Amino acid sequence: MDVVSDAVSVIRTGRPHAARTRRSAPWGLRFPAGREVGFHVVLQGRCWLLSEGREPVPLGAGDVVLVPHGQEMALADSPGRDLVDVAPDMDDTWVKPPDTAGAAGDLTLLMCGSYQLDRAGAHPLLAELPAFLHLPRRVGSGGALNSVVDLLGDELDRRRPGTDAAIPALLDTMLLYILRAWYQDHAPRETGGWAAALADPTIGSALQDMHAEPAAAWTVEGLSRRAGVSRSAFARRFTELVGRPPMAYLTWWRMTTAGRILRDDDAPLQAVAERVGYHSEFAFNRAFKREFGVSPGAYRRRDTGRRATAPPA
């Protein structure tokens, strides 16, 4: 898998949720802070994105907003509008106020929802994102995200056989397209960080190698040789952009991958250890406990208990 896909898959839990709502002026909706990653799509009409301490942002049809860190925010037909709270349900979906009908000229059609993520294992690529990602509707080569949005809107508008399976898959695809668009076209590469790391041919290639084969016997020497640069130059550049040395990142990624396997698979611990590059279960246990504070077995039992008591998705 590639780095962006991995960053999402290791912390995804449950099913994403989405719902449409029709608003006719005057209207204003306040979405509370929460653990989930929220998203909002303007399917028709216009509105404003409002957040305390920030200038209001106008949104048009086809615009997408991602709220990666769960900040409180609001949408309204006007920046000065009174706001109605949108309450979270048991599974962190939003119980929206009833639709408001009005003249077609002032109607705004929204798609709002959330992704359920386990932030305990969040990839730094996601942690680095700004409070709000605003992606205006694009044409031409940037139209792939538009296509996913259109498909989602159609599924939510006309439920047919297969819709219950199609919506979560399309929502997952939309999240990946949002992140791809942001890191390719919007994130400031000149400031360094993950945008620059993914765009850098040397470091980006090394990251892809680590993610594709976390169990391989990677070394700084081997990675730098594959990249065609000196060992010292590679290590310095990797640490500068990624925020930790190559082998420290590899160990972190192996343990994060092991955590995902322990959540999703009942494979024996020795098999899990080998899948992330450890032939000694003892060495694997020690590295895992250093990262998560508990042994792999305790981590698996804790997560199993949490899932057993969680409300259904």
Distance of CA 192 to the CA centre of its chain: 20
Find the mean pLDDT for residues 204-224: 94
| 218-273 pLDDT per residue, tens | 999 999 999 899 999 999 999 999 999 999 999 999 999 999 899 888 899 999 99
The three-class DSSP label of residue 264 is helix
Strand partners, 112: 19, 40
Residues in the chain: 313
When mean pLDDT is compared across 9-13, 52-56, 97-101, 184-188, the lowest value belongs to 97-101
Does residue 208 register a pLDDT over 70? yes
Q: Are 284 and 278 in contact (CB under 8 A)?
A: yes
pLDDT surpasses 70 at 151? yes
- Please report the pLDDT score of residue 114 as a whole number: 87
* pLDDT confidence tier of residue 49, bands split at 50, 70 and 90: very high
Residue 20 in this model has a pLDDT that exceeds 80: yes
pLDDT tens-digit series, residues 85-120: 887 654 444 555 666 665 555 789 999 988 877 666
The architecture CATH gives domain 3-187: Sandwich (2.60)
Buried b (16+ CB within 10 A) or exposed e, 89-104: eeebbbebeeeeeeee
Q: Distance between CA 49 and CA 12 in Å, rounded?
A: 26
Could you tell me where in the chain the CATH 1.10.10.60 domains are found? 195-308
Helix, strand and coil content of the chain, in percent to the nearest 5, comes to: 50, 20, 35
Q: 304 vs 234, which has greater pLDDT?
A: 234
CATH 2.60.120.280 residue spans of the chain = 3-187
Q: Which of 32-46, 149-163, 224-238, 299-313 has the highest mean pLDDT?
A: 224-238
Q: Is the pLDDT of residue 312 over 50?
A: no
Tell me the range of 69-73, 121-125, 161-165 where mean pLDDT is highest. 69-73
Cβ distance 83 to 6 under 8 Å?
Answer: no
Q: Count of CB atoms within 10 A of residue 130's CB?
A: 12
Residues 6+ apart with CB under 8 A from 172: 8, 12, 16
Q: Which amino acid is at 27?
A: W
CB 246 within 8 A of CB 238: yes
Q: DSSP of 8-24, one letter per residue? A: HHTTB-S--EEEEEEEE
Contacts of 305 (CB under 8 A, 6+ apart): none
- Lowest mean pLDDT, pick from 72-86, 91-105, 138-152, 178-192: 91-105
Model confidence at 284: pLDDT above 90? yes
Per-chain mean pLDDT for the chain: 85
pLDDT at position 304: 64
Q: Tell the CATH topology of 195-308.
A: Arc Repressor Mutant, subunit A (1.10.10)
